[in-house]
Amino acid sequence: MPSHSGIRSGGRSSRLHPGAWWLWSLALGTAATRTTNPLLLALLIATSAYVVATCRPQAPWARSYTAFVKLALAVLLIRLLFAVTLGSPLPGTHVIVTLPEVPLPHWAQGIRLGGKVTAETLVKAFYEGLKLATLLICVGAANSLANPARLLKSLPGALYEMGVAVVVALTYAPNLIADVQRLRAARRLRGRPDTGIRGLLQVGLPVLEGALERSVALAAAMDARGYGRTADVPPRVRRTTTALTLGGLLGVCAGTYGLLTAEGGTYGLPVLLAGLTAALAGLRLGGRRTLRTRYRPDRWDTRAWLVAGSGAAVAALLTLAATRDPAALNPGVIPLVAPALPLWPAAAVLLGLLPAFISPAPLKEPS
């Protein structure tokens, strides 16, 4: 079949480390929190969307981007809705519409229902909603660019089994949805309406039963394939591991407490660091108990550095710009002015496009 012979543009060996994608997306998200300028936010969304469009593989999990975009839109709309109904203390002058105000008892003073809706309130709510939406879209980009399951596989050995548990749980969500759809369809075959909330409730039990059965079958299969085999570790090492981990965690707690209280300023930081070191050593030692090896682990190569670096650069530059020129990054709403596109921060955001040019083209998956 010509469609999948030919030169394969992407393969396992050319795949980017999932951590790089997550760092890049989270950095873009961080950048989004630094500004409320709608033009910059739109540019950030466009950047992430372009990279997703060029780099995302054709796998089922990669389709989550649209879901995140829809979620972001919903968040934006809800934010606007709140601004309209609840009003805001913003002293605006451009009244768009005046809603009837609901009188509230005195203990609810400070909350207003209805009343004047000003353009300033709406614009402000839009800016803030857009900021949140951008953050969500960036997380969505990470989800669709890098398989979350692969990221979990990069966990240290001692945490591996926990990682597998999470991966299995993650794959269950889509299965559960498919089950619900199938059983709701089956209701139609019984002559019952297949829509409505009652239909959903009645299939609940069979769906859960099915999910339980499937997990038991999977657990059996995993057991039979050697999941949870452990190496023999001398009891001394085992005890040391426990002591290090527990002691380390205690140290982390004590250190954090110290840092947060006034008296502990002196011992807080050293105890925290010591606790962290002990806990990490415990994890590393605990890794000896697992026999596992890794099949073709994702390598952190130059491209991964560049992708993560481009994201970090965007975040750093926008943070810098936010301190240097707060007015451009957070355009005021009183008086109401059209936001201007600050040139340098905009150029900085465009750095985030780098992955689109250096990362491998998406894997074509014939279906």
Q: Least separation, in Å, of the C-beta of 305 and other proteins?
A: 23
Residue 164 as a binder of other proteins (CB under 8 A): the answer is yes
Distance, in Å, from the CA atom of 171 to the CA atom of 204, rounded to the nearest integer, reads: 19
Residue 217 as a binder of other proteins (CB under 8 A): the answer is yes
Spell out the long-range contacts of 221-228 with Cβ–Cβ below 8 A and sequence spacing 24 or more.
227/161, 227/164, 228/161
Read off φ and ψ for residue 98, nearest 5 degrees: -115, 115
Q: Least separation, in Å, of the C-beta of 223 and other proteins?
A: 5
Residue 2 as a binder of other proteins (CB under 8 A): the answer is no
Contact by Cβ (8 Å): 87, 112: yes
Closest by CA to 158, choosing from 215, 250, 231, 220, is 231
Residue 229 as a binder of other proteins (CB under 8 A): the answer is yes
Q: Determine the 3-state secondary structure of 284 from DSSP.
A: helix
Closest by CA to 68, choosing from 125, 143, 130, is 143
Which residue in 223, 324, 337, 340 binds other proteins (CB under 8 A)?
A: 223
Which listed range, 53-61, 66-74, 240-248, 269-277, lies at the site for other proteins (CB under 8 A)?
53-61
Read off φ and ψ for residue 297, nearest 5 degrees: -65, 150
Residue 162 as a binder of other proteins (CB under 8 A): the answer is no
CA–CA distance from 103 to each of 89, 108, 113, 115, 116 (Å)?
17, 10, 8, 10, 14
Which residue in 106, 197, 225, 323 binds other proteins (CB under 8 A)?
A: 225
Residue 53 as a binder of other proteins (CB under 8 A): the answer is no
Which listed range, 124-132, 198-206, 300-308, 354-362, lies at the site for other proteins (CB under 8 A)?
198-206
Residue 116 as a binder of other proteins (CB under 8 A): the answer is no
Residue 293 as a binder of other proteins (CB under 8 A): the answer is yes
Residue 59 as a binder of other proteins (CB under 8 A): the answer is yes
Residue 224 as a binder of other proteins (CB under 8 A): the answer is yes
| DSSP letter for each residue of 85-149 | HH--S-----EEEEEEEEP--GGGTT--EEEEEEHHHHHHHHHHHHHHHHHHHHHHHHHHHS-HH
Which residue in 111, 185, 212, 327 binds other proteins (CB under 8 A)?
A: 185
CB-nearer residue toward other proteins: 6 or 91: 6
Q: Look up residue 152 and give its two tokens.
A: 């979990």
Residue 296 as a binder of other proteins (CB under 8 A): the answer is yes
Residue 218 as a binder of other proteins (CB under 8 A): the answer is yes
Distance, in Å, from the CA atom of 51 to the CA atom of 18, rounded to the nearest integer, reads: 14
Site string for other proteins, 12-51 (x = CB under 8 A): x---------------------------------------
Residue 212 as a binder of other proteins (CB under 8 A): the answer is no
Which residue in 39, 155, 172, 227 binds other proteins (CB under 8 A)?
A: 227
**Burial code of 152-166, b = ≥16 C-beta within 10 A, e = fewer?**
bbeeebbebeebbee
Closest by CA to 341, choosing from 37, 60, 66, is 37
Distance, in Å, from the CA atom of 18 to the CA atom of 26, rounded to the nearest integer, reads: 12
Residue 194 as a binder of other proteins (CB under 8 A): the answer is yes
CB-nearer residue toward other proteins: 106 or 190: 190
For other proteins, how many residues bind (rule: CB under 8 A)? 54
Hey, how many other C-beta atoms are within 10 angstroms of the C-beta on 50? Answer: 14
Instruction: Name the residues that contact other proteins, by CB under 8 A.
Output: 1, 4, 11-12, 59-61, 147, 149, 164, 167-168, 171, 182-183, 185-194, 202-203, 205-206, 209, 214, 217-229, 231, 291-296, 363, 365, 367
